[in-house]
Amino acid sequence: MSFKSEYLARVYDSVCKRNANEPEFLQAVKEVLESLEPVVAKRPDLEKNGILERLVEPERGIQFRVSWVDDNGNVQVNRGYRYQFNSAIGPYKGGIRLHPSVNASVIKFLGFEQIFKNSLTGLPIGGGKGGSDFDPKGKSDNEIMRFCQSFMTELAKHIGADTDVPAGDIGTGAREIGYMYGQYKRIRNEFTGVLTGKGISYGGSLARTEATGFGVCYFTAEMLKAAGKSFEGKNVVVSGSGNVAIYAAVKTTALGGKVIAMSDSSGYVYDPNGINIDVMKQIKEVERARISEYAKRVPGSTFTEGCKNIWTVKCDIALPCATQNEIDEESAKTLVANGCFAVAEGANMPSTPEAVAVFQSNGVLFAPAKAANAGGVATSALEMSQNSMRYSWTFEEVDQKLHGIMVNIYKNAAAAAKEYGMEGNLVAGANIAGFLKVADAMKWQGVAY
Active site residues: 129
Residue 113 interacts with ligand NDP (CB under 6 A): yes or no: no
Residue 210 interacts with ligand NDP (CB under 6 A): yes or no: no
CA angle in degrees (0–180, nearest 5) for 410-399-93: 70
Residue 93 interacts with ligand 2IT (CB under 6 A): yes or no: yes
Residue 66 interacts with ligand NDP (CB under 6 A): yes or no: no
Residue 94 interacts with ligand 2IT (CB under 6 A): yes or no: yes
To the nearest whole angstrom, how small is the minimum distance from the Cβ of residue 167 to ligand NDP?
Answer: 7
d(CA 43, CA 139): 52
Provide the phi-psi class of 84: left if phi over 0, else alpha when psi is between -120 and 50, else beta. Answer: beta
To the nearest whole angstrom, how small is the minimum distance from the Cβ of residue 39 to ligand NDP?
Answer: 25
Q: Which is nearer to ligand 2IT, 267 or 376 (CB)?
A: 376
Residue 322 interacts with ligand NDP (CB under 6 A): yes or no: yes
CA distances from 298 to 215, 276, 315 (A): 28, 8, 21
Q: What residue 356 binds from ligand NDP, ligand 2IT, none (CB within 5 to 8 A, per partner kind)?
A: none
Q: Which stretch binds ligand NDP (CB under 6 A): 55-63, 76-84, 342-350, 430-438?
A: 342-350
Residue 120 interacts with ligand 2IT (CB under 6 A): yes or no: no
Q: Which is nearer to ligand 2IT, 22 or 345 (CB)?
A: 345
Is 244 within 8 Å of 212 (Cβ atoms)? yes
Mind giving me the DSSP string for 412-438?
Answer: HHHHHHHHTT-TT-HHHHHHHHHHHHH
To the nearest whole angstrom, how small is the minimum distance from the Cβ of residue 204 to ligand NDP?
Answer: 13
d(CA 174, CA 393): 19
- Contacting ligand NDP within 252-311 (CB under 6 A): 264-266, 307
Question: 64, 396, 432: which is closest to 210 by C-alpha?
Answer: 396
To the nearest whole angstrom, how small is the minimum distance from the Cβ of residue 212 to ligand NDP?
Answer: 4
Mind giving me the DSSP string for 211-269?
Answer: HHHHHHHHHHHHHHHHTT--STT-EEEEE--SHHHHHHHHHHHHTT-EEEEEEETTEEE
Chain-centre distance for alpha carbon 434: 15
Q: What residue 323 binds from ligand 2IT, ligand NDP, none (CB within 5 to 8 A, per partner kind)?
A: ligand NDP
- Contacting ligand NDP within 74-103 (CB under 6 A): 99, 101
**Which of 205, 253, 263, 380 forms a contact with ligand 2IT (CB under 6 A)?**
380
Is 25 within 8 Å of 19 (Cβ atoms)? yes
Residue 196 interacts with ligand 2IT (CB under 6 A): yes or no: yes
To the nearest whole angstrom, how small is the minimum distance from the Cβ of residue 264 to ligand NDP?
Answer: 3
**Which of 35, 149, 239, 348 forms a contact with ligand 2IT (CB under 6 A)?**
348
Burial class (CB in 10 A: 0-12, 13-18, 19+), 279: middle
Residue 169 interacts with ligand NDP (CB under 6 A): yes or no: yes
CB atoms within 10 A of CB 361: 9
User: Hey, which bits of 46-156 come out as E strands?
Assistant: 60-69, 75-86, 92-98, 126-132
Q: Which stretch binds ligand NDP (CB under 6 A): 55-63, 175-183, 248-256, 341-349?
A: 341-349
Q: Long-range pairs for 25-28 at CB < 8 Å and ≥24 separation?
A: 25/104, 25/105, 25/108, 25/109, 25/112, 27/109, 27/349, 27/352, 27/353, 28/109, 28/112, 28/113, 28/349
To the nearest whole angstrom, how small is the minimum distance from the Cβ of residue 241 to ligand NDP?
Answer: 4
d(CA 64, CA 83): 12
Question: 129, 105, 110: which is closest to 16 by C-alpha?
Answer: 105
Q: What residue 178 binds from ligand NDP, ligand 2IT, none (CB within 5 to 8 A, per partner kind)?
A: none
To the nearest whole angstrom, how small is the minimum distance from the Cβ of residue 96 to ligand NDP?
Answer: 10
Is 340 within 8 Å of 317 (Cβ atoms)? yes
**Which of 171, 193, 257, 429 forms a contact with ligand NDP (CB under 6 A)?**
171
Residue 168 interacts with ligand NDP (CB under 6 A): yes or no: yes
Q: What residue 406 binds from ligand NDP, ligand 2IT, none (CB within 5 to 8 A, per partner kind)?
A: none
Residue 86 interacts with ligand 2IT (CB under 6 A): yes or no: no
Residues that bind ligand 2IT (CB under 6 A): 93-95, 117, 167, 169, 196, 348, 376-377, 380
Residues that bind ligand NDP (CB under 6 A): 99, 101, 168-171, 173, 212, 240-245, 264-266, 307, 321-323, 346-348, 373, 376
